[in-house]
A = this chain, B = another copy of it.
Amino acid sequence: MAPAQAAAQAADEDGYALWLRYAPLPGAARAQLQAQARTVVRLAPASPTTDAAMAELQRGLAGMLGKAPATGNTVADGALVLARAADLPDTVRSSLALADAGTEGYVLRRTRLQGKNVFLIAANSDIGLLYGSFAWLRAAASGAPLESASAPALKLRVLNHWDNPDRTVERGYAGQSIWDWWALPDIVDARYLDYARANASLGINGTVLNNVNAKAEMLSPAFIAKAAALAGVFRPYGIRVYLSVRFSTPLELKETATADPLDPQVRAWWQREADEIYRAIPDFGGFLVKANSEGQPGPQDYHRTHVDGANMLAAALAPHNGAVMWRAFVYAPGGTKTDDRAKQAYDEFKPFDGRFAPNVLVQVKNGAIDFQPREPFHPLFGAMPRTPLMMEFQITKEYLGFSTDMAYLGPLFQETLAANTHHGSPPLSVADVLQQAPGKLTGMAGVANIGSDRNWSGSHFDQANWYAFGRLAWNPRGDARAIADEWAAQTFSRDTAVRGAVTGMMMVSREAVVNYMTPLGLHHMMGTGHHHGPAPWVDNLERPDWNPVYYHRTARDGIGFDRTATGSNAIAQYAPALAAQLADPRTTPEQVLLWFHHLPWDYRMASGRTLWQELISHYDRGVRQARDMQAQWAALAPAIDARRHAETAARLQRQAANAQLWRDACIAYFQSVSGLPLPAGVAPPAHDLDHYRKLRFPYAPGNG
């Protein structure tokens, strides 16, 4: 880039730098930081990982201080020192409580070392030093205290890319897949390194490269070589590569006559395949599997079970220390097996508790349907105490307005993680369940929102969802607001007023989406296929549980899905204490009321309003919140670079229109069924229902 353009872009940011901007610090903060890092000293031996840490510290300090400090290996006053436990004298080491850091954690501490005052980044491992370096830079950039200590609560912190080998991305709203499969392995995009840096800065330590709706060719030698090239870039950053596998791979590659998991030839094929992969990628992470769900092949095709399928793959990976992440999102083709799709995962998996091999995790979506704006936590959490359950969140916003609407997912993630399962004594939260999984494996997965768009995530604010996922995977007890504030400080400004305003918008944004799309526990009301826009009226799809009407059950008499004993009794899948609460609409939280109950329109809410009034007021509130975000952002214009401000303002304008569309279309539809007049003072929808029913969104992205 020519200097003039560099200068132009310093003013106008394009978002590529993510939260790792390392913007120049204001004067006082700069002097303070400078005193903590007059030199950067590596006592740990050189390795690709400590090289990465040193390079990142140089980069970060150069950005924040205006020039990079000298590096060396002589400890002096004011040095920032990278050292493993083994590199430190006993006295210092014993003062650090490094045992708590485990194999990946770190301790950041001011101390005396070799008679000098230094700032120590200490860990038991090279990757701990890298994580510690990122943590130190994060604190410096956001103005947090530099001293801290931390270790990850979960072992596997993994992105799930739903990226296809043709570079389309299922439910991707940030351009094409960043994996340029055709160019790999010979041509390695410089961007892969920045991807590794960004993930390592959060502690993400695994990436599933391809879509769970996987292609057999992904396991061909050509694609293994491509994956190996990526693994080579990621390795210094502590990121292991995983692949989604199609259960019928050997059959489709015509190398076996069946894909039956109990067939010896099939088992031998998978063993050979695993051996082959590990020859190319010695630290390969393992397989992610979507089986017998939405048309994908699986063990049930051969009258075998999930256990048979998962354990076969686990046996192939076990000698290499690889893991199987077997998804519980099952959803049978050709008709529902139960009266309620929400019940299927529990029904299929609960009986297998304790029967999976030790290197299998069952990966469970946060809720029982499919990443809706709000779902109650999945009833499997807490219900399989003898099986490691791994959380699956969706970072990409399939159902929350793609990358065009702002919706900070931190509160959604936190709401699920903090939920009380009422299992155990004392009762376990969902985060507890993840963390206390039996055996050695624990984990959290996030369906990535990363693409080839210059700003990575399609919008600047969608970067925060990647960030929040990573921070919560490291610490599932993290606070969504604190994470937003930390992100805003690094991404936009350390200024208290600015970051406060940004955080305020973020914290309301997801609730705004819930309000204008699916308030009070409504769910699955979106358009068919692309999942954009309101379509509560859809009732003609082949499977009953593909239709919005299946979920909201809007009728003359009322609205909502009865999941109590008088209905599908899905509540019985929860712990008894919780099931008892949910059995009664009066003790069911209003935010999920219609998820569990079918109630008359004149049902009296806590506010004193009828359900009908309350429902409409939520839609109105959502529209208001979207408009408020627009106004709040407009007021931030002086504090944000012009480009990111304009790009975000355009999206917020579109979001306000989208909110209005949802509100109007849903109210028009509900009214057409309920036959009720609008409460006084409520604006009628801009058009009649027919107008909304006729809207089409050709070529909406993300269908994959």
Neighbouring B residues of A183 by C-beta, 8 Å: 404
Q: Which residues of A308-323 have CB atoms within 8 Å of chain B's CB atoms? A: none
Q: Are A701 and B5 in contact (CB under 8 A)?
A: no
Of the listed stretches A238-246, A535-543, A650-658, chain B binds: A650-658
Of the listed stretches A19-27, A80-88, A259-267, A425-433, chain B binds: A19-27
Smallest Cβ-Cβ distance to A653: which chain B residue: B186
Q: Whole-angstrom distance between the alpha carbons of A294 and B607 in the complex?
A: 64
Of the listed stretches A9-17, A123-131, A597-605, A624-632, chain B binds: A9-17
Neighbouring B residues of A220 by C-beta, 8 Å: 698
B10, B190, B402, B404: the one within 8 Å of A6 (CB): B10
Copies in the complex: 2
Question: Closest CB-CB distance, A351 to chain B, in whole Å?
Answer: 39
Q: Whole-angstrom distance between the alpha carbons of A107 and B618 in the complex?
A: 65
Neighbouring B residues of A4 by C-beta, 8 Å: 22, 59-60, 62-63, 68
Smallest Cβ-Cβ distance to A703: which chain B residue: B166
Question: Closest CB-CB distance, A253 to chain B, in whole Å?
Answer: 11
Q: Which residues of A161-191 have CB atoms within 8 Å of chain B's CB atoms? A: 164-168, 173, 175-176, 180-183, 186-188, 190-191
Asked whether A609 is an interface residue with its Cβ less than 8 Å from the other chain, the reply is no
Q: Are B21 and A2 in contact (CB under 8 A)?
A: yes
Q: Whole-angstrom distance between the alpha carbons of A60 and B4 in the complex?
A: 8
Q: Whole-angstrom distance between the alpha carbons of A13 and B1 in the complex?
A: 5
Asked whether A3 is an interface residue with its Cβ less than 8 Å from the other chain, the reply is yes
Smallest Cβ-Cβ distance to A657: which chain B residue: B186
Instruction: Report the interface size class on chain A.
Output: 35 or more
B3, B167, B453, B698: the one within 8 Å of A165 (CB): B698
Smallest Cβ-Cβ distance to A530: which chain B residue: B182
Neighbouring B residues of A454 by C-beta, 8 Å: 191, 454
Neighbouring B residues of A63 by C-beta, 8 Å: 2-5
Q: Are A22 and B2 in contact (CB under 8 A)?
A: yes
B9, B62, B650, B699: the one within 8 Å of A1 (CB): B9
Asked whether A46 is an interface residue with its Cβ less than 8 Å from the other chain, the reply is no
Asked whether A66 is an interface residue with its Cβ less than 8 Å from the other chain, the reply is yes
- Contacts A404-B187, A650-B186, A654-B186 given; indicate if A16 touches B2 (C-beta within 8 A): no
Q: Are A181 and B699 in contact (CB under 8 A)?
A: yes
Q: Are B2 and A17 in contact (CB under 8 A)?
A: yes
Asked whether A28 is an interface residue with its Cβ less than 8 Å from the other chain, the reply is no
Asked whether A672 is an interface residue with its Cβ less than 8 Å from the other chain, the reply is no
Q: Are A217 and B182 in contact (CB under 8 A)?
A: no
B14, B182, B191, B404: the one within 8 Å of A190 (CB): B14
Q: Whole-angstrom distance between the alpha carbons of A373 and B402 in the complex?
A: 42
Question: Closest CB-CB distance, A245 to chain B, in whole Å?
Answer: 16
In the complex, which of the residues A2, A176, A654 has the most CB atoms of chain B within 10 Å of its own CB atom?
A2
Neighbouring B residues of A3 by C-beta, 8 Å: 10, 24, 62-63, 66
Q: Whole-angstrom distance between the alpha carbons of A5 and B10 in the complex?
A: 9
Question: Closest CB-CB distance, A396 to chain B, in whole Å?
Answer: 14
Smallest Cβ-Cβ distance to A5: which chain B residue: B17
Q: Are B701 and A182 in contact (CB under 8 A)?
A: yes
Question: Closest CB-CB distance, A224 to chain B, in whole Å?
Answer: 13
Neighbouring B residues of A9 by C-beta, 8 Å: 1, 6
Neighbouring B residues of A168 by C-beta, 8 Å: 168
Asked whether A647 is an interface residue with its Cβ less than 8 Å from the other chain, the reply is yes
Asked whether A700 is an interface residue with its Cβ less than 8 Å from the other chain, the reply is yes
Asked whether A643 is an interface residue with its Cβ less than 8 Å from the other chain, the reply is yes
B60, B404, B452, B698: the one within 8 Å of A175 (CB): B452
Neighbouring B residues of A176 by C-beta, 8 Å: 167, 175-176, 452
Q: Whole-angstrom distance between the alpha carbons of A164 and B168 in the complex?
A: 13
Asked whether A577 is an interface residue with its Cβ less than 8 Å from the other chain, the reply is no
Asked whether A8 is an interface residue with its Cβ less than 8 Å from the other chain, the reply is yes
Q: Are B167 and A701 in contact (CB under 8 A)?
A: yes
Q: Whole-angstrom distance between the alpha carbons of A12 and B187 in the complex?
A: 17
B22, B66, B650, B699: the one within 8 Å of A187 (CB): B650
Neighbouring B residues of A167 by C-beta, 8 Å: 175-176, 701
Question: Closest CB-CB distance, A231 to chain B, in whole Å?
Answer: 17
Question: Closest CB-CB distance, A334 to chain B, in whole Å?
Answer: 28
26 interchain pairs, CB-CB under 8 A: A1-B6, A1-B9, A1-B10, A1-B21, A2-B22, A2-B24, A3-B63, A4-B60, A4-B62, A5-B59, A7-B62, A12-B190, A164-B699, A165-B699, A175-B176, A175-B452, A182-B699, A183-B404, A186-B651, A186-B654, A187-B647, A190-B647, A217-B698, A222-B698, A452-B452, A454-B454
What residues make up the interface of A, taking CB atoms closer than 8 Å to B? 1-10, 12-14, 16-17, 21-24, 59-60, 62-63, 66, 68, 164-168, 173, 175-176, 180-183, 186-188, 190-191, 215, 217, 220, 222, 402, 404, 452-454, 643, 647, 650-651, 653-654, 657, 698-701
Nearest 4 Cβ contacts at the A-B interface: A4-B63, A4-B62, A6-B6, A165-B699
Q: A5-B21, A14-B190 are in contact. List 15 more A-B contacts (CB 8 A).
A: A1-B10, A1-B13, A1-B16, A1-B21, A3-B62, A4-B62, A5-B22, A6-B6, A7-B62, A166-B701, A168-B168, A175-B180, A186-B651, A217-B698, A217-B699
